[in-house]
């Protein structure tokens, strides 16, 4: 039976990515202290309790999935910007894009009796069209212990290069068993799925994922965190939400104002009150990078 590698949270980025490139996943232990976990749960528990159970087998009929976490949880904002995780995401995705963005924020709560989710790839959110490109870098933060009994995430180490139609044998699947405060890092290509909760307690994880700046996000961050909320966030987080161009000429807009009362072709930053010199599709750094590709 294979096992996932568990590393200390302060492991250097290159060492973490060496494992992830080989296995498709790794666990960082001790990434989130108890006080931070408690604060996050206090901020989000009312939303979790109001979330309906899933309506199909994939979402989980005894599972709740609660989103819009940037708008709802100040603590989640810090988790998204965690320098250790963000460094891994940026370096991992760098060969395929000029900028990365936040793909989705979701609390996944497996209640007792939830069956195992079928094994899949997260990159299938875009269908099976992308080839030779790794589109995303994912995390699941453990707010409770992840055990074999309560549905610790199933992972198939080394499956990143498999054909999409290959089915893993039971002996190729392991579980991301980890104590609360750990974070599972995994790629969009590794086969995985939620585990079966055979316990009498909830299993709670926070799914925060990053993707290439030129792809459509799974969770529409402009609607989940609209400008009136996003304008007060740190600039780095604004950019991750998508309030900047994803590449040259990707994501600009023209404010629909009366003639002469607004600019033409500005970046999404303009909606937050952030301006850049002049007008245009993007900035000079992006243009230079595109020209050098």
Strand partners, 100: 212
Tell me, what's the pLDDT at 81?
A: 98
What span, in angstroms and rounded, lies between the C-alpha atoms of 144 and 204? 6
* pLDDT bucket at 247, cuts 50 / 70 / 90: confident
Please say if the pLDDT value at position 76 is more than 80.
Answer: yes
Chain mean pLDDT for the chain: 94
pLDDT at 249: 81
Q: Which two tokens stand for residue 75?
A: 């603590």
What digits encode the pLDDT tens for the residues 194-214?
Answer: 999 999 999 999 999 999 999
Give the chain's domains with CATH numbers: 6-221 (2.60.120.620), 222-292 (no CATH)
- The pLDDT of 278-287, averaged and rounded, is 55
Q: What pLDDT is attached to residue 1?
A: 77
Q: 8 has which bridge partners?
A: 29
Q: How many whole angstroms separate alpha carbon 80 and alpha carbon 68?
A: 13
When pLDDT is cut at 50, 70 and 90, the band that residue 275 belongs to is: confident
pLDDT at 118 (0 to 100): 95
The predicted structure's pLDDT at residue 248: 81
In this prediction, residue 289 has a pLDDT band, given cuts at 50, 70 and 90, of low
pLDDT tens by residue, 14-51: 999 999 999 999 999 999 999 999 999 999 999 999 99
36-42: long-range contacts, CB 8 A cutoff, minimum separation 24: 36/75, 36/78, 37/143, 37/180, 37/181, 39/75, 40/73, 40/75, 40/76, 40/79, 40/143, 40/206, 41/143, 41/204
Task: State the pTM of this model.
Answer: 0.94
pLDDT digits (tens, 9 = 90+) for 136-184: 999 999 999 999 999 999 999 999 999 999 999 999 999 999 999 999 9
């Amino acid at each position: 039976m294979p096992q996932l590698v568990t590393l200390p949270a302060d492991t250097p980025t290159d060492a973490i990515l060496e494992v992830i490139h080989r296995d498709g996943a790794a666990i960082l232990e001790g990434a989130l202290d108890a006080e931070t976990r408690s604060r996050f749960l206090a901020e989000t528990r009312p939303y979790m309790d109001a979330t309906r159970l899933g309506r199909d087998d994939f979402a989980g009929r005894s599972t709740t999935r609660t989103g819009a976490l940037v708008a709802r949880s100040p603590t989640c904002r810090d988790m998204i910007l965690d320098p250790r995780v963000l460094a891994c995401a940026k370096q991992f995705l760098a060969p395929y894009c000029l900028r990365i963005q936040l793909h989705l924020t979701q609390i996944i709560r497996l209640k007792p009796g939830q069956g195992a989710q079928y094994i899949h790839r997260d990159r299938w959110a875009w269908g099976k069209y992308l080839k030779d490109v790794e589109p995303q870098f994912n995390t699941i933060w453990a707010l409770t212990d992840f055990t074999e009994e309560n549905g610790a995430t199933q992972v198939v180490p080394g499956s990143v290069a498999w054909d999409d139609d290959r089915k893993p044998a039971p002996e190729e699947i392991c579980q991301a068993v980890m104590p609360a405060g750990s974070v599972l890092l995994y790629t969009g290509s590794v086969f995985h799925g939620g585990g079966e909760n055979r316990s009498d307690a909830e299993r709670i994880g926070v799914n925060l994922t990053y993707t290439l700046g030129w792809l459509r996000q799974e969770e529409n961050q402009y609607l989940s965190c609209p400008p009136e909320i996003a304008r007060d966030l740190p600039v780095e987080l604004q950019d991750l939400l998508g309030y900047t161009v994803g590449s040259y000429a990707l994501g600009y807009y023209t404010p629909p104002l009366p003639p002469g009362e607004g600019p033409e072709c500005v970046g999404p930053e303009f909606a937050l009150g952030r301006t850049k010199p002049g007008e245009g599709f993007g900035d000079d750094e992006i243009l230079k990078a595109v020209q050098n590709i």
